[in-house]
Amino acid sequence: MISENQETDLPIYSFAPIADSQSKVLILGTIPGKESLKANAYYAHPQNAFWKIVFNLLDLPFSTDYQVRRNVLLQHRIALWDVLSTCERRSSLDNDIKMEQPNDIHSFLSLHPCVAKIIFNGKGSARYFRKYFADITLANQILPSTSPVHAIKWELKLAAWQIIKYI
């Protein structure tokens, strides 16, 4: 029997991608964390730096409105998705992922032929991508995770993510 305080592995499901026919770069996370799942929105944890980095580097006023956030990505030809479609996980940590299944990134790339580069939001997404999609040879780059768990200084994360300014 499981006590009330003991966490169990729960099924986790990815969101649909944010993308359109003009997307030139695909940013891949691993799979949504608990806060994102609750909000039904990518990178919803208040300490996750993803949206702050995007708005800062694109020199735009910050917005918490999810539709504005989605539109900013699309206007700048940035697609956003996750490597994994489903998994079991008890926390939001990539190290807790079990029984994972990948998203159909081959089909995504076929439907979005303008995508010329993949950016990984952290090493976890890159690791799962290489496990399931070693045959995809698009240019790619691993950037520091925007997760609050990946504790490096804001300035260093921001500097590493400068690449999105030039998409």
d(CA 154, CA 156): 5
pTM: 0.90
Active-site residue flag, 48: yes
Please give the order of strands across the beta sheet that includes 10-13.
10-13, 84-89, 98-102
Burial 129-162 (b: 16+ CB within 10 A, else e): beebbeeeeeebebbbbbbeeeeeeeeebeeebe
Q: pLDDT tens across 124-164, in order?
A: 999 999 999 999 999 999 999 998 876 788 899 999 999 88
d(CA 27, CA 76): 12
Q: pLDDT tens across 15-60, in order?
A: 999 999 999 999 999 999 889 999 999 999 999 999 999 999 999 9
Can you tell me the mean pLDDT for 56-73? Answer: 97
In the set 48, 56, 95, 121, the catalytic residue is 48
In order of their start, the domains of the chain are 10-166 (3.40.470.10)
